[in-house]
Structure 1
């Protein structure tokens, strides 16, 4: 087992690892999926501590970073890796900065409610999110082949224009980024979000067959696929009651909530 003062590394199976940041209020998870020929790293966390020394211990295979979306807590370690992929809808945010978030707000958010010691070189007053051009763009329906396992790319906008989910068809793992997780609301209340798209994206993932486990990017690590039935009911309820627009607040369901 890898011991680290900032990250918690949890094996999901012999070739899949969650790299979690439980000491920060956002409780962010990144995921390393190792195949026969290469590995994929889904997101790179907050950037409070270096992630590459962790992934270097877990695999010697070449690593492609695939981005669920371009928010600070998902791209923090992007600069540590050579090959970075993102959807076109979020490309401009990766290259030029995240829309609607000032650096002052980002620094306040990155530094609050931390419950364990941070690395000595972490200075929130100088924290700057990664910016750069991606190696390539991912599109809905793409497949990422790792040699002995295949990931399906799903464009699931709403939380951001280019938000992506990834379905590990080999194992039935659904990686939902910030589209679906528990404990705190999934949100689409910023001007850069879209409530209608979010609900459509929830409906889409709820229809994926043969999901064995759901892995959101925050809070509880690993959710039952039975949650997808509740997602279907929730989407129907929200549309039926004309709640899918800005300003309708937090809507709580069995196992998750959304905020518009």
Structure 2
């Protein structure tokens, strides 16, 4: 589907990645369609309106699952009636993201853009979404889309309320900013927690029957074999006592982590 800003990629007949390759963060949001309703995992940067794309892909009601409350994941939240977030990030959604000034946010949103942006985008007045969620997510919640069940895993570290989403029907694991490739997974901000992040990485290695992993940045789709390397990384980082702020970038096969 051609679009001036978004790249829509079909994962299967009922699953789509909606990507923003024109921005340095290369953000992916994901639309999962069931029989009764659809789930949108994150809403992108907010440079353009992602609802324009989701309206073309489904006429079912859409519920937004927020992996975490950072700018590049809540950009079009205001376009949807039902948005859900883990309680750990609820305060950030309502009162603003901790640890980043609006000036820094505006600099980051406007740098290294390689595609024309819509006329509605003005970085000088850009402001992240703030508002009350429809409801709160918790670990092991099950969201039934009708013939398709999603399990919520609380995976903090990158943010206090970060969640990953496991599609039990297809074996897809959507890891948000917990696991992706090419650029480091961030756990060096004051608002992050290295210990929680490593424990969350260990947690997802215990999920059974994963067929594909979809992080929110960079390569679209990682083979589940990477989870074996994640197990090794967890053991290595703990054994070497590296799970703390200031130890730098740690590189493994297929991904890296920065503390």
Same fold flag (TM > 0.5): yes
Aligned residue runs from structure 1 range 55-70, under 5 A: 55-70=54-69
- How many pairs does the alignment contain? 259
Distance across 2 between alignment mates of 1:59 and 1:225 = 28
Aligned residue runs from structure 1 range 226-237, under 5 A: 226-237=225-236
Partner of 2:13: 14
Quote the offset at 1:209 in angstroms: 1.1
Distance across 1 between alignment mates of 2:115 and 2:2 = 15
Quote the offset at 1:208 in angstroms: 1.0
What are the superposed Cα offsets for residues 153-198 of structure 1, whole Å, 9 maximum, x if unpaired? Answer: 0000000000000000000000000000000000111111100000
Whether 2:218 is the aligned partner of 1:212: answer: no
Partner of 2:149: 150
What are the superposed Cα offsets for residues 92-137 of structure 1, whole Å, 9 maximum, x if unpaired? Answer: 0000000010000000000000011111111111100000000000
Distance across 2 between alignment mates of 1:34 and 1:157 = 26
Distance across 2 between alignment mates of 1:184 and 1:207 = 24
State the SS of the aligned residue for 1:126.
coil
Partner of 1:118: 117
Distance across 2 between alignment mates of 1:121 and 1:187 = 30
Partner of 1:89: 88
What are the superposed Cα offsets for residues 20-45 of structure 1, whole Å, 9 maximum, x if unpaired? Answer: 00000000000000000000000000
State the SS of the aligned residue for 1:124.
coil
Distance across 1 between alignment mates of 2:234 and 2:256 = 11
Partner of 2:200: 201
Partner of 1:42: 41
Partner of 1:25: 24
Distance across 1 between alignment mates of 2:131 and 2:100 = 17
Question: Mind listing any 5+ residue stretches in structure 2 that lack a counterpart?
Answer: none
Aligned residue runs from structure 1 range 114-193, under 5 A: 114-193=113-192
Partner of 1:71: 70
Distance across 2 between alignment mates of 1:175 and 1:132 = 24
Distance across 1 between alignment mates of 2:60 and 2:186 = 35
> What CA RMSD, in Å, does the superposition of the two structures yield over aligned residues?
0.4
State the SS of the aligned residue for 2:73.
helix
Partner of 1:250: 249
Distance across 1 between alignment mates of 2:138 and 2:196 = 16
Distance across 1 between alignment mates of 2:202 and 2:213 = 15
State the SS of the aligned residue for 1:108.
helix
Say which is worse superposed, 204-213 or 19-28, in terms of deviation: 204-213
Distance across 2 between alignment mates of 1:78 and 1:29 = 15
Distance across 2 between alignment mates of 1:52 and 1:91 = 23
Distance across 2 between alignment mates of 1:206 and 1:116 = 37
